[in-house]
Amino acid sequence: MALHLSTKIEAILYLKGQPLSIAEIAEYAQCDRSTAESGLIELINDYAHRSSALEVVETPIGYSLQLRSGFQELVQTLIPVELGVGALRTLAAIALKSPITQTELVNLRGSGAYQHVQELLELGFVTKQRQADSRSSWLNVTVKFHQYFQLEQLPNLANVELEE
């Protein structure tokens, strides 16, 4: 079964879960930029004319498949999160300095960050990946973080001081 390009692009946007540039879409779809652009326009038009909870939107960094804004209250109802102030501050530090090593995070936030990271991992807001050449791990925010907090991208604030 041959996939229609717009359907393939829809799958790519869904699976990546983050905004993608035309060049990235073309690379994943294994086609040239103009073909990817045509497929994307077709997909955007398709979503514009169907009654769907999803939409394809252009963001400052690319195109994204996301929940229509009218459904955000439903997200808050179905996926409520209770985070303490310390865990929220730790999550903010990870988000703003991502990727950050757990060692750097503990230096910024103190030893309580270990417990915060475990809680954030369980909630699916961060990922933890062991560094090949170190005992520390890289921490990054997840697609769920971006969806839950309705953020498409975060500013790069590498020099921000984040203390309790």
CATH of the domain at 46: 1.10.10.10
**Domain for residue 153, yes or no?**
no
| Percentage of the chain lying above the pLDDT 70 cut | 84
Confidence of residue 152 (pLDDT cuts 50, 70, 90): low
- Whether residues 47 and 100 fall in one domain: no
Helix, strand, or coil here: 134? coil
Query: Is the predicted pLDDT of residue 79 greater than 70, yes or no?
Result: no
**Final residue of a structural domain among 43, 70, 97:** 70
Higher-confidence residue of 50 and 131: namely 50
**Domain for residue 143, yes or no?**
yes
What CA–CA distance (Å, rounded) separates 87 from 83? 6
Nearest to 8, CA basis, from 27, 18, 21: 27
The helix-helix angle for 33-48 and 22-29 (nearest 10°) equals: 100
Q: What is the mean pLDDT of residues 45-56?
A: 89
Q: Record the pTM.
A: 0.50
**Domain for residue 136, yes or no?**
yes
Which pLDDT belongs to residue 76?
Answer: 65
Query: Is the predicted pLDDT of residue 101 greater than 70, yes or no?
Result: yes
- Whether residues 64 and 11 fall in one domain: yes
Range of the domain at 44: 5-70
Which pLDDT belongs to residue 32?
Answer: 95
- Whether residues 66 and 86 fall in one domain: no
**Domain for residue 158, yes or no?**
no
Confidence of residue 164 (pLDDT cuts 50, 70, 90): very low
Nearest to 64, CA basis, from 149, 150, 152, 154: 152
Which pLDDT belongs to residue 31?
Answer: 95
- Whether residues 16 and 66 fall in one domain: yes
- Whether residues 95 and 50 fall in one domain: no
Confidence of residue 68 (pLDDT cuts 50, 70, 90): confident
The count of domains in the chain is 2
